[in-house]
Amino acid sequence: MASIFGFRSRDPARDRQTDVSRLDRLAKLFEQIAAEIESERAGLENRYRTKATNAAFLVEAMENGSASDRRSSEVSALTESILNCERRIAALSRQDGMMKELRHSLDTVFDENAGSAATAEFARPAGAGRG
């Protein structure tokens, strides 16, 4: 578009296309990070269950007299590991919640941009509407 002063602005359709492309890249990044968080949490939960089971069997063996009291240091180490797992799982849950909030905010920005686009039709960012 030309003006009387010789200034040319970009076509609004090109601006929308640029915005959609940028929002799409951000949406894909959010999805990648959310998948990393979920993968870490799943692995940690598996290790947590294993450690909790080992600790329970060890305590039971000690109570039944089939394991020496010297193994109490193993119980302490397993207990510390379990507590660390619980703290990390809680942190990952908070991170997951934050990613969902960010994703919702991105969808809101996209919807606002889409609402202001009078005639253009374009695709929502990757995974939009999920969450």
Q: What is the pLDDT of residue 2?
A: 52
Q: How confident is the model at residue 107 (pLDDT cuts 50, 70, 90)?
A: confident
Does residue 78 contact residue 54 with C-beta atoms inside 8 Å?
A: yes
Which of the pair, 107 or 123, is modelled with greater confidence? 107
Amino acid identity at 70: R
Does residue 79 contact residue 55 with C-beta atoms inside 8 Å?
A: yes
Question: Is residue 5's pLDDT more than 80?
Answer: no
Contacts of 13 by beta carbon, 8 Å cutoff, 6+ apart:
120
> For 15-74, how does the pLDDT look when each residue is reduced to its tens digit (9 = 90+)?
888 888 999 999 999 999 999 999 999 999 999 999 999 999 998 888 888 888 778 889
Tokens of 38: 């979920």
Provide the 3-class DSSP secondary structure of residue 8.
strand
Contacts of 101 by beta carbon, 8 Å cutoff, 6+ apart:
none
Helix residue ranges, H only, the chain: 12-63, 72-116
What spatial distance separates the first Cα and last Cα of the chain, rounded to whole Å? Answer: 39
